[in-house]
Amino acid sequence: MSKFVRGAAVAGAAACLLASLASPAWAQDKTSIEWWYANGGRVEEGIQKIIADFNASQDKYEVVGIKKGNYEETFAAMIAAYRVGQHPSIIQSSERTFLTMIDSNAIVPVSELMTQQGYTVDWANFVKPVADFYLVGDTPAAMPFNSSTAVMWYNADHFKAAGFDGPAATWPEFEKQLYAIKEKGISECAMALNSDFYWSLIEGYSSINDYPFGTKGNGFEGLDTEYVYNTTPVVQQVERLKKWIDDGVIQLAGQGLSPMQLYTSGTCSTISASTAGHADVEANAKFNWSAAFQPHEEGVEPHNSNIGGAALWVLKGKTDAENAAAAAFLNFIAQPDTQAWWSEWTGYVPVTNAAYEKMKAAGFFEKHPTREIAIKQLSQGTPTVNSRGFRFGNSNQTSAILVEEIQAAWTGQKTVQQALDAAVSRGNEVLRQYEQLHAAQ
């Protein structure tokens, strides 16, 4: 029995109703499947175009794309629907849920599905730092789709006015730049703090600087992993961010503006955010903007940054025809033309080398140099057990705990060390609960 089914299930009726309403009558002659996704705005437009292109490319299958909310809401909806057998064939789930998906016993590994359905996928052609994250053994469990990493966006006009060509390579030098921008009154704030700062400035910081975030290879080597980031330079990183907040160098979102709007409006000079922000920046920033690699600590040889975004998972419990439709759709998505278009439209990294080479041959990165930063940053250095990613159970819950404790430090309720000690202690309790639930598998 799936872990999604185990336990009380009371939210299925609404999901059942939505699913039935979402199946158009005109699709009855075709095998129709659903794909639940979590993106809005320009990214959703791209998703719907891919679906429309696939549906128009053949006459056997029909994919119906349904937005279920953000990643957490889509994940929760999927669990509720799975419990009552009304789940979609394909679910877009964030990289943070990888271990939970694997241990759910509710998925069909994509490599297994594609082989069963007669498709030959060159998995070695997927960009290594992205593909490696989704491997179980030597085969991928999910298909990388909207993969990203955080880059340092900056206002080139502001940096030029302060006497800098761009963000410095190291955190100490970058700090001097931010304080210079503030002291010269060049902008209202030197840096905006993104809502997912724990991903870019805490977890990403650990990856690039090769610091352990947890034991057992950051969870890759066993469920008996424990968080240890309260014993690494993450402590000084959080203290640095707190100092910037206290000194008015970094600004939190508020007053109706999102963190990215604080940057694109020209209010703040920098923001550490996903490369997928390209669509927003290109559409709304009315100044000379650019992006750079994330800084690293002095004396450190930087490693690859951590990935973000999501992958496509295939769920069990479907008919052979529905599985055939899912495989055909994933095969369509994996094509270089689809991948190259998707990357160019959204700013997400091309997840296959063929798509990357196609974009380079077309001169795309010469015209849009910032689009290549993410894939170069994901590939910098040699991956280590600390930089290859994070595989912790119930990661959404432990991340929320980390943010809650850090905010307690920023508001003066705790010291940074006390806050991180508490986050690790509470997080490890969650890991033990996850281990107890899944260790018998």
Distance, in Å, from the CA atom of 27 to the CA atom of 101, rounded to the nearest integer, reads 29
Query: Which residues make beta-bridge pairs with 167?
Result: none
> Strand 150-155 vs strand 189-192: parallel, antiparallel, or unpaired?
unpaired
Band (pLDDT 50/70/90 cuts) for residue 57 is very high
The pLDDT of residue 377: 96
Looking at residue 330, its pLDDT comes to 97
Q: What per-residue confidence (pLDDT) applies to 439?
A: 79
CB neighbours of residue 203 within 10 Å: 26
Average pLDDT on 147-155 reads 96
Residue 89, helix vs strand vs coil: coil
- Residue 256 pLDDT class (50, 70, 90 cuts): low
Name the band, by pLDDT with cuts 50, 70 and 90, for residue 131.
Answer: confident
Q: Residue 309 pLDDT more than 70?
A: yes
Residue pointed to by tokens 């799975």: 82
Among candidate residues 34, 42, 22, 47, the one with its CA nearest the CA of residue 310 = 47
Architecture of domain 150-306+388-439: 3-Layer(aba) Sandwich (3.40)
R_g (Cα) of the chain, nearest Å: 22
Cα 282 to the center of its chain, rounded Å: 20
pLDDT band of residue 440 (cuts 50, 70, 90) is low
Tell me: the pLDDT tens digits for 281-299? Answer: 998 999 999 999 999 999 9
Residue 253 has pLDDT above 60, yes or no: yes
| 4, 329, 342, 376 from 372: Cα distances, Å | 38, 27, 14, 6
**DSSP structure class, residue 296:** B
What's the chain's average pLDDT?
Answer: 91
pLDDT tens digits, 338-358: 999 999 999 999 989 999 999
Token digits of residue 181: 């921008």
Report the CATH number of the 31-148+308-351 domain: 3.40.190.10
Q: Judge whether 435 and 222 are in contact, CB under 8 Å.
A: no
Query: What are the boundaries of each domain within the chain?
Result: 31-148+308-351, 150-306+388-439
pLDDT classification of 7: cutoffs 50, 70, 90: very low
Do 350 and 309 form a contact (C-beta atoms < 8 A)?
no
pLDDT cut 70: percent of the chain above it: 93
Q: Output the 3-class SS for 185-239.
A: CCCCEEEECCCCHHHHHHHHHHHHHCCCCEHHHHCCCCCCCCECHHHCCHHHHHH
The per-residue pLDDT for 16 is 42
Q: Which of 412, 208, 387, 210 is nearest to 292 (CA)?
A: 208
Q: Identical fold at 31-148+308-351 and 150-306+388-439?
A: yes
Residues in the chain: 441
**How many other CB atoms are there within 10 angstroms of residue 301's CB atom?**
11
